[in-house]
């Protein structure tokens, strides 16, 4: 059959590539290897995709030539999509092209530069070549309540991930690698979510978020290694801190869920080896500042009755005292401590060190 001839041709070409180069990445499909090495134009010719001047086959022709379908869908202003593509081009070593009419991203081929993260290149090509499910994102700069990205609440009927490209660009500028890894987290999370659209929101989010975090950590490691920088380590937690920076004055009285009088907010990511701190003001349009802050040991505490390698976390007993054990429903207690790293029977707590004392108390 025609399909069998196509498969044989792909395998033969993949074998030729393996004899000339180091070979495909472990577990990588031969088609993706060819796409990574030669670009999509070469793949199209191998698969028999129509060239210029040739009519495309009718969708109903089962034995007609095959063509690559693009599955990374991006909606947004052209300048925002271009900014996203430029960031991913530099990280992946690929040239990404956006079809403004179809709102899809394709790979034109390698850009001639070494990838800062091979994981970015591999995952982008995998998502783009997957005809079974999509990754759908919307790039904007004004989405209310969105910090970096937001998992779609109504994912069953509108499975589009909202991304703040302005924040991602600032993140990448202030802490190279963090913007790319955060962007890929959102793309991968949405891609994985498309496999769980019949599940509940919590189940779908958990199943999509976990692999996205793992990929995010791997990508950040690769980029920091390529840049010759120290590793931040895996992301452990993130939280928001309201700050009043008026020296010598107390914060003004405020109601529930109201910001402090200054509007100063810190978005903090706790990593294994350091913190990422974004400082912004919700009352102004001033762009936030981003910086990596090393962690310093704050104390070492031995906890009795804690088994090395245990996945249990500290929970609260019914009498208010703390105990070891898994969180019980209906609601877990507050994280304790939010930036702790559990290392067997010894608990090492760290804190952010900025090199100066905080102002305003």
Helix (H, G, I), strand (E, B) or coil at 144: coil
Lowest mean pLDDT among 7-16, 216-225, 233-242, 272-281: 7-16
Closest CA to 231 of 296, 267, 178: 178
The string of pLDDT tens digits covering residues 182-193 is: 999 999 999 999
Neighbours of 119 (CB within 10 A): 23
Query: What pLDDT is attached to residue 240?
Result: 85
pLDDT at residue 355 greater than cutoff 60: no
Query: What pLDDT is attached to residue 306?
Result: 63
Phi, psi for 185 (deg, rounded to 5) = -55, -45
Between 221 and 263, the more confident residue is 221
Distance CA 64, CA 339 (A): 57
Confidence of residue 120 (pLDDT cuts 50, 70, 90): very high
HSE value, Cβ hemisphere, 13 Å, CA-based, for 66:
19
Q: pTM for this one?
A: 0.65
pLDDT at residue 337 greater than cutoff 60: no
For 234, the token pair is 């895996």
pLDDT at residue 5 greater than cutoff 60: no
Query: What pLDDT is attached to residue 142?
Result: 92
Distance CA 279, CA 275 (A): 13
Between 12 and 263, the more confident residue is 263
Closest CA to 32 of 123, 99, 154, 105: 123
Lowest mean pLDDT among 21-35, 177-191, 284-298, 329-343: 329-343
Distance CA 323, CA 237 (A): 22
**β-pairing, 104-110 with 72-75?**
antiparallel
Confidence of residue 44 (pLDDT cuts 50, 70, 90): very low
Q: 3-state SS string over 164-223?
A: EHHHHHHHHHHCCCHHHHHHHHHHHHHHHHCCCCCCCHHHHHHHHHHHHHHHHHHHHHHH
Query: What pLDDT is attached to residue 349?
Result: 55
Between 189 and 351, the more confident residue is 189
Query: What pLDDT is attached to residue 344?
Result: 36
Confidence of residue 298 (pLDDT cuts 50, 70, 90): confident
Distance CA 346, CA 309 (A): 11
Query: What pLDDT is attached to residue 130?
Result: 94
Whole-number average pLDDT of the chain:
73
| b/e code 169-192 from CB counts within 10 Å (16+ = b) | bbbbebbbbbbbbbbbbbbbbbbb
Query: What pLDDT is attached to residue 100?
Result: 95
Neighbours of 230 (CB within 10 A): 12
Query: What pLDDT is attached to residue 307?
Result: 66
Between 174 and 313, the more confident residue is 174
Q: Is the dihedral of CA 237, 242, 245, 247 positive or negative?
A: negative
Query: What pLDDT is attached to residue 32?
Result: 43
Between 243 and 330, the more confident residue is 243
Between 352 and 34, the more confident residue is 352
The string of pLDDT tens digits covering residues 46-101 is: 333 444 343 333 333 333 333 344 479 999 999 999 999 999 999 999 999 999 99
The string of pLDDT tens digits covering residues 151-160 is: 999 999 999 9
């Amino acid at each position: 059959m025609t399909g069998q001839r196509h498969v044989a041709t792909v395998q033969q070409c993949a074998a030729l590539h393996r004899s000339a180069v180091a070979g495909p990445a472990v577990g990588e499909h031969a088609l993706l290897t060819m796409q990574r090495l030669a670009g999509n134009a070469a793949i199209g010719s191998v698969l028999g995709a129509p060239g210029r001047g040739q009519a495309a086959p009718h969708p109903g022709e089962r034995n007609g030539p095959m063509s690559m379908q693009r599955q990374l869908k991006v909606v947004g202003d052209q300048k925002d999509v271009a900014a996203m593509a430029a960031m991913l081009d530099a990280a992946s070593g690929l040239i990404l092209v956006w079809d403004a009419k179809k709102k899809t991203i394709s790979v034109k081929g390698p850009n001639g530069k070494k990838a800062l993260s091979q994981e970015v290149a591999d995952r982008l090509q995998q998502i783009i070549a997957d005809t079974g499910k999509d990754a759908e994102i919307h790039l904007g700069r004004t989405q209310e309540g969105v910090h970096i990205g937001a998992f779609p609440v109504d994912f069953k009927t509108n499975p589009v991930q909202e991304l703040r490209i302005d924040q991602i660009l600032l993140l990448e500028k202030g802490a190279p690698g963090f913007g790319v890894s955060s962007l890929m987290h959102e793309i991968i999370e949405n891609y994985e979510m498309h496999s769980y659209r019949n599940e509940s929101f919590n189940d779908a989010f958990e199943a999509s978020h976990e692999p996205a975090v793992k990929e995010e950590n791997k990508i950040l490691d690769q980029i920091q290694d390529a840049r010759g920088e120290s590793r931040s380590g895996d992301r452990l937690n993130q939280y928001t801190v309201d700050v009043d920076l008026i020296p010598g004055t107390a914060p003004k009285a405020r109601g529930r869920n109201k910001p402090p009088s200054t509007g100063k907010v810190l978005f903090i990511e706790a990593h294994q080896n350091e913190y990422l701190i974004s400082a912004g003001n919700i009352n102004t349009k001033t762009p936030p500042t981003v910086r990596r802050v090393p962690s310093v040991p704050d104390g070492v505490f031995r906890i009795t009755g804690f088994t090395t390698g245990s996945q249990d976390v500290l929970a609260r007993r019914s009498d208010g005292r703390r105990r070891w054990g898994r969180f019980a429903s209906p609601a877990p207690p507050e994280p304790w401590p939010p930036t702790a790293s559990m290392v067997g029977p010894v608990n090492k707590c760290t804190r952010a060190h900025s090199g100066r004392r905080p102002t305003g108390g």
